[in-house]
Structure 1
């Protein structure tokens, strides 16, 4: 793993206080700090550029998702037609934002295959092909590997070199400055260490995840240097660890619903929950991001199989932006 980050003062915002403009941006750093790191030295403009994704991968939903996809609650019933309509809205939104989406057909043998975030972690022209802990998902990497390598010209690194390592992309939160990797039921410390070895230009901190499938089940990036986080005890425990390990001061937006904290920031546009699904969290998004382009998208059906907005797209920066 990378060397432990030195502790910094972590500045957060509270519900109902202030709002964010177009790009967000870091809180003011303390002028007396003498331990400024590479990540802290990165300009706000460079950080913002990490969210200007020119390309991505999506996959259509197989019929088998309704009955066979993995889920924490086996009692839920998925409306597969509604799930497809909701997924289509995300696809169309990304295309309207001029993200060049590589579209994959569904595979009935892979009921979770539409959750393309998990099989790979991509940054700086490097794509880690993950060892996912669920054996039934292993073949999901095949088509994604081909697109990343042949179409998007990424350098592929196989995590299978370390058979003990497991990693799901849903546990990897990249802020534009550093990585936080959730240690969860799907990702272990060996997986986090593998990622740290490959992306050695960045600080990588492990965050213990409780009460949720993935780290990003309860937090995500809502803009450059802005973390959206749920209000549950589990989410706040994870945030506390980030506070202690971060190499930068981040703004936070605390939402009453953990699920609503899974959002996407793409090309200066925030994609978040709908009013119908999470009215209280939706209100906070509208109040706190009133000067930001926003799109509200439904996720009710894929949430039933533990899928969030981030899970459904693997977004890629074609051009490496290695911080030197």
Structure 2
């Protein structure tokens, strides 16, 4: 087993600022329809998230400047999957998003991670697509959601990259991406929404693993995406949606004893189908290369 440190132990967070073009889509402009987002509010919420990661959890924050030419580049989780010393640069479903990887790749190299390129394989990865928001790493194994953004070929490339871990694919039932409906709430705890689709995906995950995970069910789907971090101080932190966004789920999070709960607003990003984990890449580096 290649897991050298306790699950959830991180030292660095990489984020990318919210651009002025937040909420716009490159291309036909139809995808988000008439969704109205509040740019200033999104930027404030992003500031609160980064503040929590830096000041409360104690991570070193690396912030890539926003790029107005890349309106979705703040969804940084999609463009890399990081485990141990390896960063797999993924291949987002939309052609227009693939150039988001350049700045992220640079940071990964500066952190002395081994960078694996998904697109550099024979035959252009054989049409593989993979987005990090469809990848759940439990500390023991990977689950990859097969969704409109991630295909089986993408999951195969991930399995090739992280050969020390089992990789199972599950259909994303009733959600856009796997991490919209579930996330890790600790080394052995899966947080999942109570929707029928999420329960169906969870049943499949349970059939594919020989490990028993505790399950924390939350009534609101948007509450199912949390960010668990064992900070440099060895305390357990959970960033979760606040009471004003998910009032019915707060009592579920309070069951996590001895955790430092950090309510973190994400309403504007979630209007665009994103969630808390979409906004950061978490890395464990013993040394600082910056």
**Fold agreement, TM-score > 0.5:** yes
Aligned to 1:221, what secondary structure does the other structure show? strand
1:173-192 deviation line (CA, Å, top 9, x unaligned): 00011100001100000010
Contact 2:25 2:32 in 1 (8 A): no
Q: State the Cα RMSD in Å.
A: 1.8
1:272 counterpart residue number = 240
Q: Does 1:152 align with 2:114?
A: no
Contact 2:126 2:153 in 1 (8 A): no
> How far apart are the structure 2 equivalents of 1:139 and 1:116?
12
1:225 to 188, 194, 208: 188
Contact 2:146 2:170 in 1 (8 A): yes
> How far apart are the structure 2 equivalents of 1:247 and 1:310?
26
Greater RCO (CA < 8 Å, at least 6 residues apart): 1
2:8 counterpart residue number = 51
Contact 1:184 1:209 in 2 (8 A): yes
> How far apart are the structure 1 equivalents of 2:181 and 2:85?
27
2:54 to 59, 84, 95: 95
Q: Deviation of residue 50 (structure 1)?
A: 2.8
> How far apart are the structure 2 equivalents of 1:71 and 1:105?
26
Within a 5 Å distance, the mapping from 1:254-265 to structure 2 comes to: 254-265=217-228
> How far apart are the structure 2 equivalents of 1:317 and 1:279?
32
1:74 counterpart residue number = 33
2:262 counterpart residue number = 295
Distance 1:319 1:125, change over 3 A: farther
> How far apart are the structure 1 equivalents of 2:142 and 2:83?
11
Within a 5 Å distance, the mapping from 1:68-217 to structure 2 comes to: 68=25, 73-96=32-55, 97-149=57-109, 151-160=110-119, 161=121, 162-217=125-180
Aligned to 2:183, what secondary structure does the other structure show? strand
Please tell me whether Structure 1 or Structure 2 has the larger radius of gyration of its CA atoms. Answer: 1
Contact 2:25 2:31 in 1 (8 A): no
Aligned residues: 275
Contact 1:178 1:247 in 2 (8 A): no
